[in-house]
Structure 1
């Protein structure tokens, strides 16, 4: 299962040369992950307010392959590579058309109210199965 999130590069996303500032790719994939989780029927705000649960990034391994530019229409692709216990590993790519600009392998962990790892919600495990 692959999720698609479309976004545009705004002036504020770029450096003085009109190229996407490197940290903004992390913002794009964060938005993509948030939209992916919502598309699975999980409301992260409700999870936090009712059970004190929150997804946190544990690790990101990424490659910057090609620059993005002011005005580009981008697509963030997100797919689960694997999930076990409290952790899932996602492959995320930021593309301009058929060209991949940025690729990341992201490890996300679900934490409980005291900051301890918790088992992924049943709805998420079922969606990933």
Structure 2
């Protein structure tokens, strides 16, 4: 299963040269992951009320080409792996048919005590099953 998230690069996303500032790619892929999770029927506000939140544990990013002011981009997100305690998202940012950014993001659940915890059953049910 792949989730698609479209966005446009605004002036505020760029540096002095009109190129997307490197940290903003992390914002773009965060928005895409949040929308993917929402589209799967997972309510992160309800999770928080139950004492569990998602936290990014690791990001591996590859900047392939620069995005520019006013570019139309698409973030493609899929689940690369899932265990009882973590989900690895594979995310690519495309400008047309050119991949310009790739990331692998490992997300864990944190309990009310601030410690890592297993993914709640409701989340495991809603996420596509992978084997890894």
- Structure 2's unaligned 5+ residue stretches are none
Aligned to 1:35: 35
Report the count of equivalent residues.
128
Q: Secondary structure at the match of 2:80?
A: strand
1:76 equivalent in alignment to 2:75: yes
Counterpart Cα distance in 2 of 1:74 and 1:15:
17
Q: Secondary structure at the match of 1:128?
A: coil
| TM-score normalised by structure 1 residue count | 0.95
Aligned to 1:96: 95
Aligned to 1:5: 5
Counterpart Cα distance in 2 of 1:25 and 1:15:
13
1:47-86 residue pairs with structure 2 within 5 A? 47-49=47-49, 51-86=50-85
1:40–1:124 Cα contact (<8 Å) kept: no
Counterpart Cα distance in 2 of 1:45 and 1:123:
14
Deviation at 1:122, TM superposition (A): 2.5
More helix by percentage: 1
Q: Secondary structure at the match of 1:89?
A: strand
| TM-score normalised by structure 2 residue count | 0.93
